[in-house]
Amino acid sequence: MNAQKKYGMSIDVDRCTGCGSCMVACAVENNIPPAHAGANDRNGLTWIRVYKVDNGEDYPGKRSAFIPVLCQQCGEHTPCASVCPQQAVDVDPRTGIVGQMPERCLGCRYCMAACPYHARYFNWWDPRWPAGMEKTLNPDVAPRMRGVVEKCNFCHGRWHAAKQKAAAAGKSEIEPGDYVPACVEACPTGAIRFGDLNDPSNDLRHPDSFRLLKKLGTDPKIYYRSKRDWVRNVAQASRPVSSQKEASHG
Amino acid sequence: MRGKIIFLAGLAAALGAGWAGFPYAIYTSRPQPVDFSHKVHADKAGAKCEDCHAFRDDGTFAGIPTLDKCAGCHAAAMGTTAAEENFIDQYVTPQREPPWASYARQPENVFFSHAAHVKLGNVKCESCHGALGASDKLPRYRQDRISGYSRLGMSMTDCIACHRQQARADSCLDCHK
Amino acid sequence: MTTTRRDIFKFAGGSALGALLTPAPWRLITDTALWSENWPGIPRPARGEIRAKFTHCSLCPAGCAVRARCVGEQPVSLAGVRGGLCPFGVTGHQLPYHPARLRQGPVSEAMAAVADAIAKCGPGERVAVLDLRPGRTASWTARRAMAVLKNGWYIAPVQSPVAVDLTKARTVLSLSAPLLERWGTPANVFAVRDGFRLIQADPVESRTAALADLWLPIRPGSEEALALGLAGQLTSAETAAMTGLSEHQIESVGQTIGFGRLSLVIDRAMSPAVVALNVKLGGWGRTIVPRAEAPVPPEWKKAAPVTDLATVPDRSIRVLLIDESAPGEYLPWDAIEKKLAAGNPLVVVFAWSANGYGRYAKYVLPTPVYPEATDDIPPAIDSPAPCFRIAAPLLAAPAGVVTPSEFIASLAGLPPADALRERARAIHQGGRGTLVTYADAKSVPVKEVKPDDFWKALNAGGCWVGQALPPANFRAPVGQALPPANPSQGLVVLATPPAPSPASPLFTKLYQESDLLLAPNCIALHPQDAARCGVSAGNRATLETPNGKWSVRILTDSSVRPGVVLAARPEMASASGKVVRV
């Protein structure tokens, strides 16, 4: 039997430049369509989203940081799994991954209300790609229809491919290097790292690490690092602080 | 009395239509584009399943072979049947892929790994695909008129039944994508 | 017996009960559910054999090595070979399907018009090619073509005369160079980031400034003054006055980067003042080296020289061909426009969309777009060694497009189609350097590779890497002391670093479905400046600069330097902008 794995990530906020490679790489890998004309940052599909936060000061005292937020793969009392009336959320004990099943979802969005990280996204519109761009869709991930919720599942299509490659060689354990989520692969600074939290040989759980909204007791598997105290303070706040203001979204 | 008979007649008619007529009416059927005989290829060509339905290096399964596999032998007629002549005329010569209908085709959101089942699980081809490999004629492809799924395609309950029997833990994302 | 209505109801009742005992209704419910999940409008990804193909990304001068995951022949995702890719590189394979992508154009009409205009050129009138990414083999073809025409000129933006070696630097002082955001080759920069201390002098808190070890908030446009001040050509007091920093800060930076400390000073294009400062700091041959390019066949040397736009006499170009198929730095249109002859100059733009200079052109001719284009990418600014890498096409281009170098070459009667192969032959004959291939991660000296294999390897995404030039006698340019800058008459509009445009449709993730990037139609300014202009957050307004007017949406941000406006499009950059309420 396979050893229990607990896949998680370590995100170094001091290395993230906010370039957005992770966001578009995720969209490419998971067949997420470009925004509908009416979409904005409240109803878009961004399975991983980089938030810009700052220390709240004005020029020239302002310092910014970029924090990528994706599904935190909560371990304890996974909020979204416990509220779903359709059992469309499945926590795999062998990998620790919280899997979202759009094919079972009926679109009640209870899970979106339950998720404290706002990491779940609803398909408000039919997915539409510009003519011809559907040729670039990834065959390892199924496109979703309108009316269902979707979210990051640690690039499960790549896990399937790694398992299949191992099976072809007669092995039941995958090579760790074969399973790398798209955001991790795309990050040019190496800010996002991925691996098995149960494996003592990687230092994903660095002593400097903190987790978002730890006080809620969700036991997330995404560990953030920063040497800057103000970043750690902002990350633990209830709402991100930013000096950028804009009138209500249209 | 008469009323009861008419009621029972209605009952019988519905039962008959539902059990005997409906399973045929719900499906459309069409023949495969080429009258291919597995038996002939297994006997005369000595081919085993893996010769045409092979694994690639990365573990993916080639499924139904592409035209170049068939054209490897059938560039010219090897026998005298009309079916082979038809095949060469319509597909090999114009380099056109035959539009095979895959009996076992799964919906888009299903991930099935032949490598895991055949290489790790030692499941025989016949366990899921039945006697297709020994058949002389390919059965007609029957497709549900409403859902579009193949009649011979395995449903999730079939997979779960075997997995439970083998006591394999299963999580949704093992098989869904 | 007659059939009564009662009979019919009884029959129907019996049928209904019977139907419930058959599979029919349950099956129909399931099938309807399945049917409802499979709308015909949802595309199904194509299936096929998964292959890896290698190429180089030609979207910017970095030319990152790319591994494309292909289903059959179609790339479905891209990854960097040596690390990550920037977001443009990650989505490059979607550009051929961009809605703004041009597929047809009046090619033969344009060819006839250009030939006609060339024939009718008067004395003193020129035919010019403006090449936005010089140094490519296509650039050499254009230069050779212009040499054949009697009044042909080849114009390109000024390129840095040096390449930098970040691996040798212990301190990097960047004067508004976006080092951590599209300067040099991203994966290479981040691979060595931990090896140096980064000081960013920048008028805004750019992404590089946010992650630098120290940010010096200087006045916009005062980068050269800071370089001259650190080189001792301006006094501390003058430098402080021009940059807005304190004398103490300037002296402290001076000590940090001091002579012999393996410091590197960079700015966007390595201007003469910055190069001179590096030489003064002892960086010549270490942190900066002469910029080298891959060898060319000797007969190509009879090519037109590279002319800087600023030295072209005003109103002298009759026919201008702009190659925008491989963009690099942005040249403002007004700087180009004043070189055009008065009275009906002919401007032809080669681009894959009409969004750039196409709006000022008589003819816009469509070109192949990455990953369809076959082009080579000159060595990046952070590549001390010369290299030759081809952006091997992953897809076939549509039928109606034209390759700029073929068009330009045919004007002069040159056969261009084999230019890349001729150059590869010249490199191979030179016998120097190594061939790096990514599929097998091998590095082989060129001498051990046969010519045909060399060419094949380059077309499969391989790269030739030469040896860095030994530093020869290099007379350091003397930076001039600056005249005091005119106080800005308006707001200074600063743009984000140049980017491939248009970007993939998926970029809506970055500015519409989140606020990570400034949207192309938005500007950000300090609330005080906004109030002065009579606008507030969310309003629509017009941004006016000498280069044009744009309709924009306002964002206010108290962390933007007062007097500065941030914009996302390079054509909006200006030293004197106005924001007018609509």
Contact present, C323 and C146 (Cβ < 8 Å): no
Tokens representing C291 are 């910029």
From A1's Cα to the closest Cα of chain B, the distance in A is 10
Contact present, C445 and C467 (Cβ < 8 Å): no
Q: CB A135 to CB C93 under 8 A? A: no
Q: CB B177 to CB A102 under 8 A? A: no
Q: CB B57 to CB A168 under 8 A? A: yes
A18: nearest CB among C71, C207, C217: C207
Q: For residue A105, what pLDDT is reported? A: 93
Contacts of C89 in chain A (CB under 8 A): 21
Q: CB A41 to CB C90 under 8 A? A: no
- Closest among B107, C44, C42 to A147, alpha carbons compared: C42
- Position C8 in a domain: no
Contact present, A158 and A140 (Cβ < 8 Å): yes
Same domain, C302 and C282: no
Interface confidence (ipTM) of the complex: 0.93
Q: Express as a percent the part of chain A with pLDDT over 90.
A: 75
The C-alpha atoms of residue A178 and residue B119 are separated, in whole angstroms, by: 19
- Position C193 in a domain: yes
Q: What is the CATH number of the domain that holds C459?
A: 3.40.50
Per-residue pLDDT of C270-315, as tens digits, reads: 998 999 999 889 888 889 999 989 999 999 998 999 999 999 999 9
Phi first, then psi: give them for residue C320, nearest 5 degrees: -120, 125
Smallest CA–CA distance from A180 into chain C, residue: C79
Q: In this complex, which chains have at least 3 CB pairs below 8 Å with chain A?
A: B, C
C38 close contact with B: CB closer than 8 A = yes
Q: For residue C484, what pLDDT is reported? A: 58
The C-alpha atoms of residue C120 and residue C534 are separated, in whole angstroms, by: 52
The C-alpha atoms of residue B39 and residue B140 are separated, in whole angstroms, by: 17
The C-alpha atoms of residue C398 and residue C75 are separated, in whole angstroms, by: 16
From A172's Cα to the closest Cα of chain B, the distance in A is 7
Same domain, C328 and C404: yes
From C368's Cα to the closest Cα of chain B, the distance in A is 29
Same domain, C275 and C261: yes
Contact present, C500 and C88 (Cβ < 8 Å): yes
Contact present, C438 and C82 (Cβ < 8 Å): no
Is the confidence at residue A1, as pLDDT, over 50?
no
Phi first, then psi: give them for residue C319, nearest 5 degrees: -125, 125
Calculate mean pLDDT across residues A207-228. Answer: 91
- Position C26 in a domain: no
pTM, full prediction: 0.93
Q: For residue B121, what pLDDT is reported? A: 87
From C435's Cα to the closest Cα of chain A, the distance in A is 25
Same domain, C459 and C322: yes
Burial class for B57, CB neighbours closer than 10 Å (0-12, 13-18, 19+) = exposed
- Position C484 in a domain: no
Q: For residue B62, what pLDDT is reported? A: 85
Tokens representing C485 are 């800058």
From B172's Cα to the closest Cα of chain A, the distance in A is 6
Q: In this complex, which chains have at least 3 CB pairs below 8 Å with chain C?
A: A, B
Q: For residue A138, what pLDDT is reported? A: 96
From C31's Cα to the closest Cα of chain B, the distance in A is 5
For residue C67, the enclosing domain spans: 50-97
- Position C45 in a domain: no
Contact present, B34 and B137 (Cβ < 8 Å): no
* Positions of chain C with pLDDT under 50: none
Distances in Å between the Cα of C454 and the Cα atoms of C395, C407, C437, C442 are 22, 28, 10, 13
From C372's Cα to the closest Cα of chain A, the distance in A is 14
B9: nearest CB among C11, C24, C30: C11
pLDDT band at B163 (very low <50, low <70, confident <90, very high): confident
Per-residue pLDDT of A165-189, as tens digits, reads: 999 998 989 998 999 999 999 999 9
Smallest CA–CA distance from A98 into chain B, residue: B173
B9 close contact with C: CB closer than 8 A = yes
pLDDT band at B51 (very low <50, low <70, confident <90, very high): confident
Q: What is the CATH number of the domain that holds C514?
A: 2.40.40.20
Q: CB B15 to CB C35 under 8 A? A: no
Q: Where are the alpha helices (DSSP H) in chain A?
A: 21-29, 79-83, 110-114, 156-168, 182-186, 229-236
Same domain, C153 and C167: no
C23: nearest CB among B3, B18, B107: B18
Is the confidence at residue B166, as pLDDT, over 90?
no
- Mutation site for B-interface testing, chosen from C8, C22, C38, C69 by largest number of B Cβ within 10 Å: C22
Q: What is the CATH number of the domain that holds C248?
A: 3.40.228.10
Q: For residue A241, what pLDDT is reported? A: 55
Q: For residue B44, what pLDDT is reported? A: 77
Q: For residue A250, what pLDDT is reported? A: 30
Same domain, C328 and C433: yes
B60: nearest CB among A103, A142, A164: A164
Same domain, C184 and C138: no
Calculate mean pLDDT across residues A143-162. Answer: 94
- Percentages helix, strand, coil for chain B, rounded to the nearest 5? 45, 5, 45
Q: What is the total count of domains within chain C?
A: 4
Enumerate domains of chain A plus CATH numbers. Answer: 7-153+180-236 (3.30.70.20)
Same domain, C268 and C339: no
Same domain, C372 and C336: yes
Q: In this complex, which chains have at least 3 CB pairs below 8 Å with chain B?
A: A, C
Per-residue pLDDT of B35-49, as tens digits, reads: 888 888 888 777 788
Q: What is the CATH number of the domain that holds C66?
A: 2.20.25
Same domain, C408 and C354: yes
End-of-domain residue from the set C429, C448, C465: C465
B54 close contact with C: CB closer than 8 A = no
Distances in Å between the Cα of A183 and the Cα atoms of A186, A190, B16 are 5, 10, 57
Contact present, C283 and C310 (Cβ < 8 Å): no
- Mutation site for A-interface testing, chosen from B110, B111, B166 by largest number of A Cβ within 10 Å: B111
- Position C36 in a domain: no
DSSP string, C478-539: PPPPPPPPPPPSSEEEEEPPP--SSPPGGGHHHHTSSSSS--TTEEEE-HHHHHHHT--TT-
Q: CB B11 to CB C24 under 8 A? A: no
Same domain, C515 and C561: yes
Q: When comparing pLDDT for B40 and A6, which is higher?
A: A6
Per-residue pLDDT of A19-57, as tens digits, reads: 999 999 999 999 999 999 999 999 999 999 999 999 888
- Position C476 in a domain: no
Task: Report angle CA C378, C379, C385 to the nearest 5 degrees.
Answer: 140
What count of CB pairs under 8 Å joins B to C?
A: 89
Q: For residue C260, what pLDDT is reported? A: 64
Same domain, C285 and C414: no
Contact present, C223 and C175 (Cβ < 8 Å): yes
What count of CB pairs under 8 Å joins A to B?
A: 71
Task: Report angle CA C525, C497, C265 to the nearest 5 degrees.
Answer: 110
Per-residue pLDDT of C520-530, as tens digits, reads: 999 999 999 99
- Position C502 in a domain: yes
A213 close contact with C: CB closer than 8 A = no
Residues 100-159 on A with a CB inside 8 Å of C are 103, 126-139, 141, 143-146
Q: CB A59 to CB C217 under 8 A? A: yes
Name the 3-class secondary structure at A241: coil
Per-residue pLDDT of B123-150, as tens digits, reads: 988 888 888 888 888 999 999 999 889 9
